Amino acid sequence: NAGVTQTPKFQVLKTGQSMTLQCAQDMNHEYMSWYRQDPGMGLRLIHYSVGAGITDQGEVPNGYNVSRSTTEDFPLRLLSAAPSQTSVYFCASSYSDGGNEKLFFGSGTQLSVL
């Protein structure tokens, strides 16, 4: 299994541009999520999904859209990039384990917005 795969690894955008960060998992996990990591602030949850067709907002959803048309894929869309969205983005997945759910993370996308 490849696990959780994120593309691209690096991206530079200009303010106002839009783009999609891709996330795919091959473990048949029902749960997927997006976090952003900023220095000194840990990881903050952007959006999450508990299954195909179901998405919900996390702690910092503004400026981001998600959709979950398949179990495997959970893309994150930046609608109009802003410098405040410069961050490292991590996708994670998990499966139901009777209260012992743990996250499997991708290797991250480093995004710079100029």
Partner 1 sequence: SQQGEEDPQALSIQEGENATMNCSYKTSINNLQWYRQNSGRGLVHLILIRSNEREKHSGRLRVTLDTSKKSSSLLITASRAADTASYFCATDENDYKLSFGAGTTVTVRA
What is the chain's Cα-based Rg?
A: 13
Q: How many residues does the chain have?
A: 114
Closest CB to partner 1 among 7 and 107?
107
**Candidate segments 11-19, 28-36, 64-72, 74-82, binder of partner 1 by CB under 8 A:** 28-36
**Could you tell me the two tokens for 49?**
């999904």
Tokens 């048949």 sit on residue:
28
The answer to the question of residue 18 lying near partner 1 (CB under 8 A) is no
Judged by DSSP in three states, 57 sits in strand
When asked if residue 27 is in the footprint of partner 1 (CB under 8 A), the reply is no
89 near partner 1 (CB under 8 A): no
Q: How far apart are CA 32 and CA 34, in angstroms?
A: 7
Sites of contact with partner 1 (CB under 8 A): 4, 31, 33, 35, 40-45, 48, 50, 58-59, 90, 92, 94, 96, 99-108
